[in-house]
Amino acid sequence: MTLHFPEGFLWGASTAAHQVEGNNTHSDFWLMENMEGSTFKERSGSAVDHYRLYKEDIALLAELGMNTYRFSIEWARIEPEEGRFDEQALDHYRDVLKVCRENNVTPVVTMHHFTSPQWLISAGGWESMETPARFARYCAHVMRELGEWIPYVCTINEANSSIAIAKIIKRYKLGATAAQVGINMEKMTQMEKYNVQLSQAFGIPHSDVHTFLALRTEQGMDMIFKAHMEARTAIREISPHTQVGLTLSLYDVLSVPGGEEHAEHALHEEFLQFIPYMKDDDFFGLQNYTRAVYGPDGLLPLAEDAEKTQMGYEFYPEGLESVIRYVTKHLDMPIYITENGIGTDDDTRRIAFIDRALKGVHACIADGIPVKGYMHWSLMDNFEWQLGFSKTFGLIEVDRTTMERKPKPSAFHLGEIAKRNVLEGGTRNETA
């Protein structure tokens, strides 16, 4: 596929700390994984040992032809106890950033990717009115130490995640089957058990446990909005050169006759209500995996003959273009695709997904939409939360016995697209 992208376009892949690093012992997820009767299929353990092997992984990303790496800094490592910042953890992420620079790779840093320190959850979590200030304090400390190395920050990954989870659980409780929901219900129903287990671990009432992915009240949503804005202010005060944004996971929302009102409600919940809190950002991090089609009774089930991914999503890479076009009608800022990918054990389908998704991105750019980068999910096969290591999203396969990395054909394919555009367009990396 020959598509020519603009000079300066960022080509890369993404990871999340807990899913790849391993031994994240102070996080809420680690606690629940290791509880007796855990709903997790398996423990993260050493994950894919990225905490130790990051130098090789970043060098491999660059060797493949990509120039950008989106990764998260783990709050539970940086601040394992409230007010105590771990210098060794800061030194580790400082070296990750240095290795990016040495390999001419642009780092895109996420400050919170689902996991939280255990102490935060025991102190009220993401419903507490103290959480925005606590999150901003953590972001400020990281930027004081590392800001000179960081050109882009995503404050919160998928700030709308709890909304999608709540809607899916509600429909399931009302009697919808997993097929009618059109998503992997096993993962979603386990989210409800999550809080029960943590309440037992902390010795506090179930109603007082509020993890990031838990069902959220209006106050909880307000805490997410405030956490983003307070973090953005703190980051800009300390590191004014750093561009700040937020990421949202967005379906390509469609409707058939009679489903328009349901679709409009979904768009408001999942995207439009966030706009007032993002309008002063420097960029928007867009994440898309599939589409959602609404009818008179709500979300329609997937067609029997629809191609489905390992996660139960419909294989629909064209959704990315549609979401980009919708977003740009409401947000006047650069867009970075911070996640887009597919869980599959058939890498030829991943290659097809990449090609069809990038064709849509290219069409948007040709129409003047400021899409500035594409980061595939994920760099490596990794720990897919409650579902363990069985779901394969990676461009790179990992043998978890030896930790050997083996790039898949899709990794070389995306890398060749990136390299060709770098050579033709002289892509300029921004490494602070």
- Domain of residue 227, CATH code: 3.20.20.80
Confirm whether 299 is domain-assigned.
yes
- For residue 431, pLDDT over 60 is answered with no
Confirm whether 360 is domain-assigned.
yes
User: Domain span at residue 119?
Assistant: 10-424
134-191 tens-digit pLDDT: 999 999 999 999 999 999 999 999 999 988 776 665 555 554 455 444 445 554 555 5
Cβ–Cβ under 8 Å, residues 364 and 161: no
Confirm whether 210 is domain-assigned.
yes
Spatial distance between the Cα atoms of 341 and 377, rounded to a whole number of angstroms: 5
In angstroms, what is the C-alpha Rg of the chain?
Answer: 20
pLDDT bracket for residue 215 (50, 70, 90): confident
72 CB contacts (<8 Å, ≥6 apart)? 15, 16, 17, 109, 110, 111, 112, 113, 157
Cβ–Cβ under 8 Å, residues 57 and 95: no
- For residue 78, pLDDT over 90 is answered with yes
Domain count within the chain:
1
Closest CA to 341 of 365, 323, 317: 317
Q: Which of 71-80, 129-138, 160-169, 373-382 has the lowest mean pLDDT?
A: 160-169
For residue 429, what pLDDT is reported? 42
For residue 180, what pLDDT is reported? 46
**Token digits of residue 36:** 């007796």
Alpha carbon of 176 to those of 72, 169, 191, 353: distances in Å? 35, 9, 17, 29
Confirm whether 4 is domain-assigned.
no
Work out whether the CA dihedral 262, 263, 266, 271 comes out positive or negative. negative
Residue with tokens 């054909």, as numbered in its chain: 409
For residue 339, what pLDDT is reported? 98
Confirm whether 1 is domain-assigned.
no
Active site residue 158: yes
Confirm whether 99 is domain-assigned.
yes
Q: Catalytic one among 79, 127, 158, 339?
A: 158
**Token digits of residue 55:** 């130098």
3-class secondary-structure state, position 179: helix
316-358 tens-digit pLDDT: 999 999 999 999 999 999 999 999 999 999 999 999 999 999 9
Confirm whether 96 is domain-assigned.
yes
Mean of pLDDT over the chain: 92
Spatial distance between the Cα atoms of 71 and 216, rounded to a whole number of angstroms: 26
Confirm whether 53 is domain-assigned.
yes
pTM: 0.94
For residue 216, what pLDDT is reported? 85
199-210 tens-digit pLDDT: 777 777 767 788
